[in-house]
Structures are given as C-alpha cells and as structure tokens.
Structure 1
Amino acid sequence: MGAMTDSGWRLTEFSPGAGCACKLPLGKLEELLAAAGGGLAPASGRLAAGGELLVGAREGDDAAVVRLDADRALVFTTDFFTPIVDDPYDWGRIAAANALSDVYAMGGAPLLALNLTAWPSATLPMELLAEVLRGAAEVVSDAGAAVVGGHTIDDPGPKYGLAVVGLAEPGRLFAIDQLAAGDTLVLTKPLGTGVITTACKRGAASSDQLAGAVATMATLNAAASEAGRAAGVRAATDVTGFGLLGHLHRMLRASGLAAAVTAEQVPLLPGARELADGGHISGGTRANIDYLQSSVTLPAQLPAALRYLLHDAQTSGGLLLGAPGGGDALLRELAGRGVPAAAIGQVRAGEPGQIVVEPG
C-alpha cells in the first residue's frame, strides 16, 4: 500500500517506471516488432472497409493514418503509462497531453478520445481516479476534442492514457522518414522531465523544479504542429520515452541519413542539469544509453549531465522537426505562436541513424 503524505497519496510509489520511462526499451521493442511483423498492418495500401492506409507500422511512426478522401485523413494512436507525479489531476493532464501529442506529431488535430484506465480499486480511492479523469478531460477539451467513453479494468498498478482519433490533410502530413540532408533540427520543448520526476520520486527535486516539469508536460504540442505545417515541415516526431537522441536516431534511420547535434544548444528545464549531476537517472534513460552506444558519437569533454539529458526518457516532450535550410521560417512561425524552440543540429548524408554530438 502506498504511503500517505500531507497532500494525499504518493501515486508514484505505485510506479516502477514513471511516465514514458515505463516504456519497453527500444531494443526489446524492435525485437518484439520483428517477431510480430506478420501480424502487423502493411505500411500502406487499400483497406477492406474503405480508405487507403498512408502510414502503418513499418517505420514506427507516431500514429497510423488512413486517407478518407482527397482532403481528409484519419489519424489514430494510443498512449498510456504509470503515474509520473503524485497529484492525480496533474497526472491526468500530462497523460492526455502526451497521448494527443502523437496526433500533432503527424500534422493532425485531435477529434475524439477514449479513456484507457487500469486502477487498483481495493487500494486507491476512486476519488483519485476521478481527479485523473478530470485533468485529462480538461486538456482534451483545450485541444478542441472530446472524451467520448473508454475502458477501465481493475489492476494492481494504476495506469492511464487515451486512444485518440484525429484528422489531417493527406498532403500535409508529417512522418519520421521525410528528413532531407541539410534540414535543421528544431526542438520545441526543453529536456529534463525524466531526471526531475525521478528526483521528485526520491524527494530530491524542489517544488519549483517539479512545477516547471509539470507545466511543460501538460502543454499541448498544438501550436508547434501548426507552426510546422505553416513552414512546410514534412519530417517530425515527438520526444518521449526513447529520449531526444533515440527518437532522432529512428528518424534518421527511416530517412537514410545522419545528423550532428550541438549539445549546448539543446534547451533544458531549470534544475535538470544539477539533478542529472546528482545521479537522478531513470532506468529508461540508462536503457536508451545502452541501446544507442553504437549509433551516437559523444565528445570526450561532454559533461556527464548533458550525456544523460540527451538520452533522458521524456514524458510529453516537444516536437522534433526537420526544417528546410536554416530553419528561420519555422523558428519565426514558432515564435509567433509563443512556442519556445531552439535549432539544435543539422541533418546530413552519412550512415543511416548515426549521430555525432558536438559540444558547442
């Protein structure tokens, strides 16, 4: 049974891997998908019920996309995870923003959502679950969508997320395999949610540090997606459990290209660097480092904290966008919508999936 605090239940005590850090490690996921490949939908093609599958499972994109007609495509995705913070309302907000992000990462807009809930009803009060659902519903409403139902099971470990349906224009989709040599890599949220929430679980993060992480995790990627479409972006993903370098590696491998990332240009949440120096590293982050060691070249002088943060398992992170040229048009669009963003690197020819990290 979880311990009580002055503010209520410590939900994170029920979470062996908080937020997106509870994802199956990338190496194991790829083994699973390879083994199950015959049971997955093709990358594209006509569907028996009508419509054309534009994006399927092959490249590991953020969502599936089906063309309905010349002007409309259906985007479908799901995401759920264990508690990342102790406040149930904030957990619901973060989980909803995270699930909706997959639609934005494809260049779409959310339409409908279904709750996906696992709850230990004999252990945790149902009033806490009501707060989770309330927080999520508010974020979905802010996105211009609606929660229209869902499914709940009794389970020893609490889990929450959404299945989401969205709409997009077929000719303006984002995809992970559309990077081009010369593209500028632009990141729309700072890194560090993994180390901050890990430190919080250990009682080492300040209230201000946690508040900053919660604020960024609960922020929708809607404006960033709109800016990308306005600037003609074709390649995008959102940065979650596989970390910045893990998600970039997947984009590069799918696009047949390599990249350089300038470490000191990557934005960080306040306190993230200090907490990383203090050793507050999640198991998901360590799995990312192990998986990417043959694909990422790190300078010997790179501080250990930056090495961890570049691999940090994020929850509800920003969009990683490939912008043509220097990215000036995209950065202007982002700034005009109030989205803090940074150009962090460049796509170039090279061995697919390889990343060189430069100190600055």
Structure 2
Amino acid sequence: MKIYKDDNLLVGFETSDDAGVYKIAENKYLVQSIDVITPVVDEPYNFGRIAAVNSLSDLYAMGGRPLTAMTLLMYNCDIAGSIMHEIMQGACDELGRTGCVLVGGHTLEDNEVKFGLSVTGMIDDGKIMKNNTLKPGDALVYTKPLGIGIITTAIKGEMAEEDEISDVTELMLLSNQKASEIIKNYPVSACTDITGYGLAGHALEMSKFSGCSINFFTEKIPVIEGALNYAEMGIIPAGAYHNRQFLGHHYSFSENHRNKEMLMFDPQTSGGLLIGVNRKYADELVNELKRSGYKDSCIIGEAVELADHYIVFE
C-alpha cells in the first residue's frame, strides 16, 4: 500500500503500535488513536465511561497526555434517545476527569450499538513508549488480571453473578493514566496496552517487532475470579478463537496449564499495560503500581533472545 509520509511521522502503523506519533516541535509530539467497542455492560452510562477509558488507554501506553477527543456513535434509531444521552454523558464524565476536551463527533445508523472515541494527546518530554523496543533480559510486568472478555460474554448471556458484573466493571473503569505516569520513572524499554488481540496477540506484536521472544510464567498471570470456570464451560468470545488462529505456529503452550490457554487469547476491553522493564527495577515498579491502585500488578514473564517461537507459555 502506498501512502504519503514525511520525516515528522515518528510512529505509524508498521509495528501495530497503540497510537500514531507525529513530531510538531523538538521533544513535543502529537499522539493520535481511535477505538470503538460494542456494549460490554448493560448500563448505558457505564458503557460510555468504559469506552472513553478504553480509548484513552492507547495514549497512555505511548506516554501521552490526552488533550481532545471526538466521539463516534453508531445506533439503531428505534433505541430511546435517553440511552444515547447516558452513553454520551458517561464518556464526557470520564474525559472530564482527565482534562480531555470533547470537541465534536459523528453518528451513524447501525443495527447494533457501537461507541468509541478518536483521541489526540501530547508527549511533552520527548519520551515515546513504543511496543517494538523490548530488550532480552527485560522483565514483563502486567497491571490487570485477564478474563475481561470471558466475563463480559457471560454478562451478555445473562449468566454472570452480580459481584462478577460489579468487579469486571470496576476493572474496565480502572484507567491506565496513573500507571503511565509511574512507569516514566523507571527504565522501561517497551510498553503496550492489552486489548482486542488478547495478551498473546499484543505480546506477539511486541516480541516480533522487537526481534526477541517472550517467555510467560503462565501460573503467575493473574486471572479474574470466575473467568476460568466460564472458559471451561465454553463461555468464550469468538475473538479469542480468532486471536489463537492468528498466532498460529508463533507460540507454544505448556501442557501443564492447558486449561488456561484460551484466557491468553481472551480479548480485553480496557485491559492493562504490558511493560518491559529492566529486571533490576521490576519488583520496585510492581510495588509502586500496587500502592497506586493496580493491585493485581505482577511480573508475568521475561524477554529472551529470539528462539523457535515468539511467544512461549511455560
């Protein structure tokens, strides 16, 4: 595909990074991204909030500070206008919490409700956090438990318990903003947020474009309570199977943890940050993340020299 570029484009789509980065002055970069999701909870207001947190996460994964946003809302005209208002209000409230200004948006008629935001931010310190700069020897830190897609699938199937709904909603509303600020104080080599391609899919992008492999410590990867039981019942989103198919021969999985395999491919709405950091500082980083509200943060793997597979679940 032939596209126009200039020297100020510092991060495009070639490495499947979380956002585009464009230089506008020395050490000042514009950061742009867009994300759209379908309803993951029944409450319109919380759906709008989650959509905003999810979209802003791309900027945080790059080290950006949100400035402006535009909404994209697709809906069936038979749906009550009050529902659309609640979705928008939820998004506006989350944007307001971050100081991000809503400047407009667009609507489309669709049979299924979909909502998302195009977000623009700024990197003021010249430090871009990319997904393709992981170094062998780095520890991999993750800030949230897996299983969001499985629990929200159970919600759609009216199978989830009230406490599960409450817990997964709180998890999706946990912004990566503070984590993004924290990791700037550590020797972080690479970062990405885990969303639609699941842990395995986004880790593949990180390892492949960095030219190394990632060994995951499967038993140490945190999982939402109840998610494994639903997975064993077959309550798994279709996207997880697509993600596994996408990885193909690029990963290997230990037979000792085979019951957890689909959780590694589970699409995460508003997932956590996967952070490559110098091993010497990884424990300190995890402790600070925990103190700042990311209670499930832990070391889940390590980067190694390129091997037979990009991703290994030990």
> Does TM-score exceed 0.5, indicating one fold?
yes
Matched residue, 1:148: 103
Matched residue, 1:213: 168
2:198 to 240, 243, 255: 243
The CA distance in 2 between the partners of 1:265 and 1:195, in whole Å, is: 19
Matched residue, 1:19: none
- What's the offset of the Cα at 1:268? 1.2
Which residues of structure 2 form unaligned runs of 5+? none
Which contiguous aligned blocks of 4+ residues in structure 1 show a shift greater than 6 angstroms? none
Q: Is 1:90–1:132's contact at 8 Å kept on the other side of the alignment?
A: yes
Q: Is 1:256–1:351's contact at 8 Å kept on the other side of the alignment?
A: no
1:137 matched to 2:92: yes
Matched residue, 1:11: none
| Partner SS for 1:313 | coil
**RMSD of Structure 2 on Structure 1 (CA):** 1.5
How many residues in Structure 1 have an aligned counterpart in Structure 2? 312
Matched residue, 1:192: 147
The CA distance in 2 between the partners of 1:352 and 1:124, in whole Å, is: 51
Q: How does 1:40-59 map to 2 (within 5 A)?
A: 42=5, 45-46=6-7, 52-59=8-15
Matched residue, 2:2: 38
- What's the offset of the Cα at 1:147? 1.3
- What's the offset of the Cα at 1:141? 1.1
CA deviation map 1:147-184 (0-9, x unaligned) = 12111122222111001011113631100111000010
Matched residue, 2:129: 174
Matched residue, 1:109: 65
1:67 matched to 2:23: yes
CA deviation map 1:124-152 (0-9, x unaligned) = 11110000001111111112212121111
CA deviation map 1:200-234 (0-9, x unaligned) = 11121111111111111111100111111111313
Matched residue, 1:76: 32
Matched residue, 1:17: none
| Partner SS for 1:172 | coil
The CA distance in 1 between the partners of 2:187 and 2:256, in whole Å, is: 37
TM-score (norm 2): 0.95
Q: Is 2:65–2:122's contact at 8 Å kept on the other side of the alignment?
A: yes
Matched residue, 1:23: none
The CA distance in 2 between the partners of 1:223 and 1:273, in whole Å, is: 29
Matched residue, 1:311: 265
Matched residue, 2:220: 265
Q: Is 1:92–1:133's contact at 8 Å kept on the other side of the alignment?
A: yes
Matched residue, 1:355: 311
Which residues of structure 1 form unaligned runs of 5+? 1-36, 47-51
The CA distance in 1 between the partners of 2:291 and 2:10, in whole Å, is: 31
The CA distance in 1 between the partners of 2:135 and 2:54, in whole Å, is: 27
Matched residue, 1:97: 53
CA deviation map 1:263-290 (0-9, x unaligned) = 1111111211111122110100011112
The CA distance in 2 between the partners of 1:168 and 1:334, in whole Å, is: 22
TM-score (norm 1): 0.83
The CA distance in 2 between the partners of 1:321 and 1:169, in whole Å, is: 21
| Partner SS for 1:275 | helix
The CA distance in 2 between the partners of 1:335 and 1:128, in whole Å, is: 36
- What's the offset of the Cα at 1:197? 0.7
CA deviation map 1:224-266 (0-9, x unaligned) = 1111111131311100110001100110001000010011111
Q: Is 2:48–2:87's contact at 8 Å kept on the other side of the alignment?
A: yes
Greater shift, 310-319 or 331-340, is seen at 331-340
Matched residue, 1:321: 275
Matched residue, 2:116: 161
The CA distance in 2 between the partners of 1:287 and 1:176, in whole Å, is: 22
Amino acid at match of 2:2: G
1:345 matched to 2:301: yes
Q: Is 2:36–2:51's contact at 8 Å kept on the other side of the alignment?
A: yes
Greater shift, 251-260 or 346-355, is seen at 346-355
